[in-house]
Amino acid sequence: MSEKNIIDKTKIPITKKSIAEDLKNLGIEKGDILLVHSSLSSLGWVCGGAQTVIMALIDAVGEEGTLVMPTHSGDRTDPAKWGNPPVPKDWHEIIRNNMPAYDPELTPTRGVGKIPELFRTLPNTMRSSHPQGSFCASGKFKEKIAENHSLTPQFGMESPLGILYNLDKTKVLLLGVGYDSCTSFHLGETLIGDKMPKSRTGTAIYEKGKRTWRWFDDYEYNSDDFLELGGKFEEKYRVKKGKVGNAQCSLFIMKDGVDFSKEWLLKNR
């Protein structure tokens, strides 16, 4: 969406104060552990852009709270599987030999939006070590959440998602995005085990201080049915709905979402 279209759809500028009020009305409280999936453009014209949104979210959870965002780098994968767009087959080995190794401080995000991309650069955030499916955290539990992240399964119980699941009443905020952006459901995928197909993938990482291409097996994560899953989830569990700026938002307890996704996926995959 162009900036002009965003302006045209905004009655008055969205500010840190107005975002804070909307977040409070939605049900976000001081001390919350909050996993946020976001779309900046959905909020309307924000005075200060992504910086303002992040400042409002940090204030909303307070000093005793923790803010977490996905900082995935999905382009750090095997080029043979790239489809949007694909690259010529004779490029594959060149890419594998030359792709820079994942660096938590340097590697940019891909496909998660402007807010997480800025959030990962904040001096007080900590980014997990997974070269493809990292998460970034700020606040009281940031070390606990981001210090360990197994290579595979990247969205399993030994990932930041697993830590968040086991922390008391972690909340998920879908800020202007749908359930197809809900990574918590990927944790549910890992919990159905053998029903999930696996495949070989690869990435560039540092091992013993040297850049190397590392092959590993992981689940074939698939969010194609997450919108349907989310709709069924709302029929059984409490999901708070409201607006932050112009953005339609959903807020729910992460454990509820993961537990339901496991149950639903077992029956419907």
The single residue listed with the structure tokens 């709905």 is 241
> Residue 133, SS3?
coil
pLDDT of residue 1: 74
Beta strands in the chain (DSSP E): 33-38, 66-70, 126-127, 135-139, 171-175, 198-207, 210-219, 240-244, 247-253
Kindly report the CA angle at 12 between 10 and 18, in degrees rounded to 5? 105
User: What range does the domain containing 45 cover?
Assistant: 3-268
Number of domains the chain is built from: 1
Whether residue 170 contacts residue 253, with contact meaning beta carbons closer than 8 Å, is answered with yes
Helices (H) and strands (E) in the chain, counts: 10, 9
Which pLDDT tens digit goes with each residue over 50-96? 999 999 999 999 999 999 999 999 899 999 999 889 999 999 999 99
Whether residue 146 contacts residue 160, with contact meaning beta carbons closer than 8 Å, is answered with yes
pLDDT of residue 4: 78
What are the C-alpha distances in Å from 65 to residues 45, 62, 78, 178, 213?
A: 27, 5, 37, 24, 37
Residues in the chain: 269
The pTM is what?
Answer: 0.96
pLDDT of residue 7: 87
Q: pLDDT tens track of the chain, all 269 residues?
A: 788 789 888 889 999 999 999 999 999 999 999 999 999 999 999 999 999 999 999 999 999 999 999 999 989 999 999 988 999 999 999 999 999 999 999 999 999 999 999 999 999 999 999 999 999 999 999 999 999 999 999 999 999 999 999 998 899 999 999 999 999 999 999 999 888 999 999 999 999 999 999 999 999 999 999 999 999 999 999 999 999 999 999 999 999 999 999 999 999 99
The single residue listed with the structure tokens 């499916």 is 133
Please name which of 209, 9, 182, 145 lies closest in space to residue 136, comparing C-alpha atoms.
145
pLDDT of residue 43: 97
User: What's the CA gap between 215 and 256, in Å, rounded?
Assistant: 34
pLDDT of residue 140: 97
pLDDT of residue 241: 98
User: What's the CA gap between 44 and 247, in Å, rounded?
Assistant: 7
Please name which of 81, 131, 124, 89 lies closest in space to residue 106, comparing C-alpha atoms.
131
Any idea of the CA torsion for 42, 1, 234, 110, to the nearest 10 degrees? -90
